Amino acid sequence: MSGHTGCAGQARSPPGRRPFARGPGGSRRPQDPAAGKELVAIQAPGLVGWGEVSGEAALKVTQLGFAFVLGLAVGGSGALALFTPVREDTEVAPAETAPQRPRTERRAAREQVSLPEDSGDPVLAENLGRAQFDRDWARVAEVARILRARGRRRRALGAARSGAGGGPSLLLLDHEYRRKAFLLQLRERVTPAADAAREDLPVAERERRLRDLLFAPRVGPDAEAARRDAAYHLGLLGTAAGREALARAFEESDPGLARLAAEALARSEDPEAIGVLVEALRSAIDPARRALAAEALAWTRDAALGGPVARELARAARSDRSRAVRAHAIASLALVDLDRCVPAREALVSLLADPVEDAELRRAAVASLRAHWAIARALPGELLVALEGALLPSTGALRAEVVEALAEAGRAETVAVLERALFASKDATERGLLERAIASIRERTRSR
């Protein structure tokens, strides 16, 4: 066709004139007879313009029209409407109300975080603080990994724990708790010793009054409590005169007074007072004095830290010439940090591994490990292996106590050792004990 008509009902235009149709608002819109043409309309209040473009020029016309009408809007002409071909699935918002994309600052690349396995609490706290400000979730995840690993080490009772940088041990925390409770109770008790230890009195007067109470005859129902608190207050004074009074009481023939003096010397946490007990453990002729010293030294902070006091206890447990002294020293090793004190571990391993060692001392070693586990909730690996090795050769009460210790502290590998003992056992009571131990370990290790 050479041309086309306008809207229905309109007559053809004369030759030479361009055909028009009614546009919006009654305006007349040109109808292009040529194929491939595209009509672009630009409208604004008070202005209607029609033009025709073809092909590649359509976009340029559109852009020019937008610039022209934008100029009118800035000059106060009013609203702007721009009709251009758009995709049907695109929603175009007015320029005045279109949401602006928030501006984001480019962050510097974060460093890769890898914390040591033995990171202590201060290191973890510092990394959490840095992560809080940077929103660095990778750093938070690394801290969480270390905490989970620490928890696994505490629960995996056969794994040796690192005591160098992992914060205070549970043995030390237990010691600090017991000491604070002791001081609080001593301060709250109303006794003649508390009155004699008043801080408003001169130190020499306090020493004299407390010393008199310590050595006074026990008369009346409150005499024992007064003597006990007098010993404690003398030790806490930390003076040379108080130390000398307690050392003299430690040498007394009265076993109750000697034990009380030994405990007061240990609880004082005075290095010179503790030295009195260490020297007695090394060289006192009377084994009863050595035994009292071994018993009292368990109260010291140095034992909980696995320090020199712990090493002296380990020496006595292994080689003192008195069986009673060895038994007291072995019992005191329950409060020693076995991870830090190698001689203590070696002494206990030697007791468990030697089949010709005194059976009662071997039972004391097992009891010490159970008491240690009750506080630390873990045993060093070599001691757990020693317990497993002691099971099959042992008999009677010792075997039953080893089974109970393994039921509490055993690892997954312990089950095989218990099953071998169960297979070889003919005693119904012993078999029941072994079966319960196996079930306990399986239940505990399954939940890890």
- Which DSSP string corresponds to 199-247? TTS-HHHHHHHHHHHHHS---STTHHHHHHHHHHHHHHH--HHHHHHHH
In this structure, what are the phi and psi dihedrals at residue 198, rounded to the nearest 5 degrees? -60, 140
Give the global pTM. Answer: 0.63
Looking at residue 202, what is its pLDDT?
Answer: 93
Tell me the mean pLDDT in the region 73-78.
44
- Which of 170, 165, 171, 207 is CA-nearest to residue 300? 171
Q: Are 214 and 223 in contact (CB under 8 A)?
A: no
Show the tokens assigned to 188: 């709250």
Q: Is the pLDDT of residue 72 over 50?
A: no
Q: What is the pLDDT of residues 260-282, one digit of tens each?
A: 999 999 999 999 999 999 999 99
pLDDT at 141: 75
pLDDT tens digits for range 182-239? 999 999 998 889 999 888 889 999 999 999 999 998 887 788 888 999 999 999 999 9
What lies within 8 Å, CB to CB, of 258 at 6+ separation is: 249, 250, 251, 252, 288, 289, 292
**Cβ distance 343 to 309 under 8 Å?**
no
Whether residue 62 is predicted with pLDDT greater than 60 in this model: the reply is no
Instruction: Judge residue 285's burial from the number of C-beta atoms within 10 Å of its C-beta, 0-12 exposed, 13-18 middle, 19 or more buried.
Output: exposed
Express each pLDDT in 349-399 by its tens digit. 999 999 999 999 999 999 999 999 999 999 999 999 999 999 999 999 999
**The pair of three-digit structure tokens given for residue 425, joined into one six-digit string:** 């056992």
Distance of CA 425 to the CA centre of its chain: 42
pLDDT score for 8: 41
* Mean pLDDT, all residues of the chain: 78
How sure is the predictor about 447, in pLDDT bands with cuts at 50, 70 and 90?
A: low
Checking if the pLDDT of 339 tops 90, the result is: yes
Residue 302 near residue 267, CB atoms below 8 Å: no
CA trace torsion 403, 408, 410, 412 (10° rounding): 110
Question: 372 and 338 in contact (C-beta within 8 Å)?
Answer: yes
Tens of pLDDT, residue by residue over 127-164, are 777 766 566 767 777 777 777 776 655 544 343 343 33
CA 131, chain centre distance (Å): 17
pLDDT of residue 15: 45
pLDDT in tens, 180-195: 999 999 999 988 899 9
Percentage of the chain surpassing pLDDT 90? 54
Mean pLDDT of 72-80: 44
